[in-house]
Amino acid sequence: MPASISVRDLRKRYGDVAAVDGVSFDVEPGEFFGILGPNGAGKTTTLEIIEGLRRPDAGTVSVLGLPAWPRNSELLPRIGVQLQASSFFERLTAREQIRTFASLYGVPPSRADGMLETVGLTGQAGLRTEKLSGGQAQRLSIACALVHDPELLFLDEPTGALDPQARRNLWDLLRQIASSGRTVMLTTHHMDEAESLCDRVAIMDHGKILKAGPPAALVRELDQPLRISVQSGLMSEESAAALGGATKATDDGVSLTIATSDPSDVLSGLARADALAGLRVSGATLEDVFLDLTGREYRA
C-alpha cells in the first residue's frame, strides 16, 4: 500500500524566517503519526501545507496519492480536519453545528447524530456551542472532522487549553478513533501526549525534523542512564557516587539523585545502607531526547 502522506524536502519561508526548512517524512496507512516540537517550531505550517491550505515554496506533498496543492476537491471528502475548538458557526447548537458540517459532505443527519453520540455529546446536543466547556467543544470539533468518515484525520494541537481530566478523556477518544484503522496525523507541543498517543513521532525544531521514530525507540536509543532518587541527606554525595553501578550523584537539597545504567546494583547498595526513603526511579523521556538533540531544555 502506498503511504498515506508523503512529504519530500518541504520548504516555506515567511520573510527572513524559514518556517519549514527541508522537511521529509512518510506516514503509513493506519498509523498515528505526531509532530512534536515547541511553539514556533514550524509544526502548524507543515500541517497546513499538507492539508492544502498553504502553498510550499519548494518540495512536494502527496496525500492519499494525490497532490495537496492546489485545492483538490477530490481529496477533500477523504480527509478530515480539526482546526480549533472555536471554528464553529455562531449561535448554533451542537446538533445544528454537526448537521451543517455533515450536509456539506452530503452526509445524512442521522449519521451526524450518531457521531455526536460517539464523542459523548448527546446530552449537550441542544446546547449552543458558546456554552460548551473547552473539552466538550474540542470533542464536537473532532466529531465535525469525522462526520464524513474520512480516511485521514488531521489534528492541530487537539488538547491545547484543556485541564488534565479533559485531556485524558480526549486521549481515550483519540485512541478509539485510531483503533478503527484510520490514519491520524497530529501536531502537539505536549511530550506526554506524543508519547502516549503516537505510533511514531517526529521531533521538530526551527523548521527541521531532528529525529523520527516510535517514542519508546527514541528514548531507548538515547541510552540514557536511569535516575534513582531518594530523600536528601540520607547519605553524602561522595558515598552515593561510590556505590556499585553509580556513575554520578548529586544532592540538590531536596533529593539525592544517582545516575546509573545498572539500577539493581545501586538499589541493593541503597538498601544495605537503609537509605530507601522517598525512593523514585525514572527513566529517560522524550524530553531527554529533545535535550539531547538540541542541547537545550524543552520549553513548550
Q: What are the residues binding another protein (CB under 8 A)?
A: 14, 51-53, 71, 73, 76-77, 79, 81, 83-84, 86-92, 96, 99-101, 103-106
Of 70 and 253, nearer to another protein (C-beta) is 70
Of 76 and 293, nearer to another protein (C-beta) is 76
In the complex, the smallest distance separating the C-beta of residue 266 from another protein, rounded to whole angstroms, is 52
Cell of 281: 526511579
Classify the C-alpha dihedral 264-251-285-138 as positive or negative: positive
Of 128 and 211, nearer to another protein (C-beta) is 128
Q: Round to whole Å and give the CA distance between 95 and 98.
A: 5
Q: Could you tell me the CA-to-CA distances from 28 to 5, 64, 126, 197 in Å, in that order?
A: 7, 10, 39, 16
Q: Round to whole Å and give the CA distance between 42 and 19.
A: 5
- Beta strands of 125-263 (E only): which ranges? 152-156, 183-188, 200-205, 208-213, 226-231, 246-251, 255-260
In the complex, the smallest distance separating the C-beta of residue 47 from another protein, rounded to whole angstroms, is 12
Of 145 and 162, nearer to another protein (C-beta) is 145
In the complex, the smallest distance separating the C-beta of residue 219 from another protein, rounded to whole angstroms, is 34
Q: Are 180 and 28 in contact (CB under 8 A)?
A: no
Q: Round to whole Å and give the CA distance between 249 and 245.
A: 11
In the complex, the smallest distance separating the C-beta of residue 118 from another protein, rounded to whole angstroms, is 20
DSSP 235-281: S-HHHHHTSTTEEEEEE-SSEEEEEES-HHHHHHHHHHTT--TT-EE
Of 73 and 180, nearer to another protein (C-beta) is 73
Q: Round to whole Å and give the CA distance between 33 and 133.
A: 27
In the complex, the smallest distance separating the C-beta of residue 52 from another protein, rounded to whole angstroms, is 7
Q: Round to whole Å and give the CA distance between 55 and 296.
A: 32
Of 187 and 257, nearer to another protein (C-beta) is 187
Q: Are 152 and 63 in contact (CB under 8 A)?
A: yes
In the complex, the smallest distance separating the C-beta of residue 141 from another protein, rounded to whole angstroms, is 9
Of 100 and 250, nearer to another protein (C-beta) is 100
Q: Alpha-carbon dihedral of residues 97, 103, 108, 114, nearest 10 degrees?
A: -30
In the complex, the smallest distance separating the C-beta of residue 86 from another protein, rounded to whole angstroms, is 5
Of 71 and 248, nearer to another protein (C-beta) is 71
* Nearest alpha-carbon partner for 278 in 226, 229, 227, 233: 229
In the complex, the smallest distance separating the C-beta of residue 38 from another protein, rounded to whole angstroms, is 19
